[in-house]
Structure formats: structure tokens, C-alpha cells
Structure 1
């Protein structure tokens, strides 16, 4: 039993060390107030107080670190929806995530996302 646990631990360690980090840069926006309680693409209810986001291609559940390039502030969000559907935008954030990036006033900010 201990040998199996040790092998599992080593396999997990090798896999986690072999992960590659990818990044994308572009514009981020945040959801309008009217989406509260609506279903997201993965079936969850949308809540503006959650740290979630929409991305066109990343798998649901992917955790993404978003950095506001104007001020260096970062936030970690989980992908649970599809979008944004506006040209040039790479991610739609909840209002809570936008507040952590200090981008609510601007509405749209240039960001880098790492996953």
C-alpha cells in the first residue's frame, strides 16, 4: 500500500512539474448587472460576487491569473462561461474580479491572462 502511494505521489509530482504555463494578452471587460442569476455555459448560476470568468476556448474549470497591465493588480478566476463576443476582448470577468483589478471605472482594460 505504501509503495502504491509513493508511486502515485511521484507520478503526480512529474505531471505537475511538466505543466506548461500559457499566456494571452488583450482586452478584458466585465459582465453587466443584468446577468445575475442567469445560467452560464457550464450550467452554473452567474453571480457577480464570484471570482469567475468567460473565455472563448479554455475548458470549464480552468483557473486563470489575470493581470491588469495598467496597474499590475492581479486576480485568480475560474472559467465557467463562454465569451466575450466583442472583437478584441479575450476575457469577461465578474464585477468582483473587475474590482480587484481596479478596472470598474474604465470598463475595459488591457490584461494578460496566464493559465
Structure 2
């Protein structure tokens, strides 16, 4: 019984990756093929080639990761929204926009370092109103200031 309690105490003291900011991992990164654009991720979101997002095997959903291309020192921050990569030897899959920002499009694979910087809040964005537009009901009340 004491062995089971010891094991339970040991595993309860391990912190998940989301609470370990500045966790660093090195390895190879690849990026999604354009055929995956619009397909669902493991979390049910749609893959967008224009978003700065990525797939990691163990980081939780919405983890923000700073990815640095070790060949040219270019850096991008991506949000984890998928599981993967499933190719052997890869640590992260990136969207096309993130790969372009890192300058790895022509090679296809790059040596990178990953650093966890925090957790993103999932927010639904509404279109921002223009500073010069007013609802139709208030337009007759608006007069220029001289």
C-alpha cells in the first residue's frame, strides 16, 4: 500500500507543460501541406494557412510557443491548436504562415527551438467598428465641429 501511495504522491507533484513557462525543446519543424487548409484539427478547429498556429504532441491547447529557426535566428510565436507531428523526428508542425515567417518554406524542414511563453485565452473576435462610422439612428444627430 505504501508503494502505491508513494507513486501517487510522485505523479501528483509533476506539473503539466502549461505551467512551465520557458520550457525549451529542440528538434526539427515541418509545416502543413496546403491540402490540409480547411480541415479540422484534433481539437475541432479548422486549419488556416494564414494563421500562426502549430501542432505539438504534448503541449495543451492554446499554449503559446516561441519557435526560433536555429539556421537564421528568425522567431515567431504560434498557438498550439492541434496534435502532431506524426513524422518521426519532428517536434512541431506549423501552418504555412508560421513557416514563411521562419524562412523555412524552401527547405521544408528546419532545426528549431521551442520555448513555452504562456497560455492564450481563446477569444471570439467581432469586427471592429470604424472610428468614423455611427449607427444609422444617430447619424442625423452628428454635426461637424467647427
**Shorter-chain-normalised TM-score: which range?**
0.7 to 0.9
Stretches of structure 2 lacking an aligned partner (at least 5 in a row): 1-18, 117-146
Aligned twin of 1:32: 33
Computed over aligned residues only, the root mean square deviation of the Cα atoms, in angstroms, reads: 1.2
Partner SS, residue 104 of structure 1 = coil
Matched, 1:89 2:90: yes
Looking at structure 1, the residues matched to 89 and 20 of structure 2 have their Cα atoms a distance apart, in angstroms, of 28
SS at match of 2:100: helix
* Bigger Rg over Cα: 2
In 1, Cα distance between equivalents of 2:105 and 2:20: 33
Structure 1 alignment gaps of length 5 or more: 1-17
Q: 1:47 to 1:20 in 2, by over 3 A?
A: closer
> How does the TM-score come out when normalised to structure 2?
0.65
CA displacement at 1:21 relative to structure 2:
1.5
Q: In structure 1, what is the equivalent of residue 108 of structure 2?
A: 107
Runs of 4+ in 1 over 6 A off after TM superposition: none
Contact 2:53–2:94 (Cα < 8 Å) also in 1: yes
Change (3 A) 1:34 1:112: same
Mapped partners of 2:49, 2:63: distance in 1: 18
The alignment's TM-score, normalised by the length of structure 1, stands at 0.83
Mapped to 1, the partners of 2:58 and 2:68 lie a distance apart of 19
Distance 1:78 1:20, change over 3 A: closer
User: What residue is the counterpart of 1:10 in the other structure?
Assistant: none
For 2:94 and 2:58, how far apart are their aligned partners in 1? 15
Listed one character per residue, the Cα deviations across residues 22-74 of structure 1 (whole Å, up to 9, x for unaligned) are 00000000000111111111111110100000000100000000000000000
- The alignment covers a number of residue pairs equal to 98
More contact order relative to length (CA 8 Å, sep ≥ 6): 1
- Equivalent-residue separation in structure 1 for 2:111 and 2:63 (angstroms): 21
* C-alpha displacement of 1:19: 5.7
